[in-house]
Amino acid sequence: MFVGKRMTRNPRTVSPGDPLSAAAQIMREHRFNHLPVVEGGKLVGILSDTDLRNASLDAMARGVGEGPPGDRPVREVMRTEVWSLTPEDSVEDALLVISREKFGALPVLSGDRLVGIITKMDLLNAFVDILDVNEVCFCVDVTFPRNLARFEELIGTFAEMGVEVRSCILSPQGEIGALNAHLRVDTIDGPTVRRVLRERGFEIAEAVSRL
């Protein structure tokens, strides 16, 4: 999955000179949490709903006489050190950056031109789609040596049962050389799936770790 296919294209933007009240109105009307700040066609910052709240709290702490916080220009509150992605970056890269840096969204640039923004919700929707969690399925975790032949046998076993594999995620499992396959399969007959897999010699992970 690539960012270009999952981002929100042509996002709403504000300029550094726009008042905070205008930015707040856009966020309220469209239920945005972030707005890219663009000047002369280039990204110069990003404004979040948290930045707006902090500006209001700061104005209240300083007392009256500073003017309404909504009259302050965006440039006084926006963040100028902005991480960004390109449409060719993977969704996994976006997830890693957002998770590690605790961002709510990342602008997407093509060269120096803003072409989109990818948010936490965009990433959640991407993984909802790839895992096919909208459909009722049975989930099972199977651990096996890092051997493609064994994996092919696993998939073949489901085919023999007439059960469709809707999604599968492979990940390293504990000891070196082992893999865990998390599968969502198109059946609700979990006991039969477990029985057949065990009969074929597959190790099925426990649903709850033993303490």
Residue 206 in this model has a pLDDT that exceeds 90: no
Dihedrals phi, psi of 76, to nearest 5 degrees:
-75, -15
More confident position, 174 or 104: 104
Cβ atoms of 109 and 85 closer than 8 Å = yes
Q: Which runs of E-coded beta strand occur in 97-161?
A: 105-110, 113-119, 138-145
pLDDT tens per residue, range 81-119: 999 999 999 999 999 999 999 999 999 999 989 999 999
Tokens 């993984």 identify what position? 127
pTM, to two decimals: 0.77
CA distances from 197 to 2, 61, 127, 143, 168 (A): 34, 64, 27, 11, 16
Does the pLDDT value for residue 210 go beyond 50? no
H helix or E strand, kind and range, residue 125: helix 120-131
Reference 126, options 3, 43, 24; nearest CA is: 3
Q: In what order do the strands lie in the sheet with 203-204?
A: 165-172, 178-185, 138-145, 203-204
> What is the predicted pLDDT for the residue at 70?
67
Please give the mean pLDDT across all residues of the chain.
Answer: 89
CB 7 within 8 A of CB 118: yes
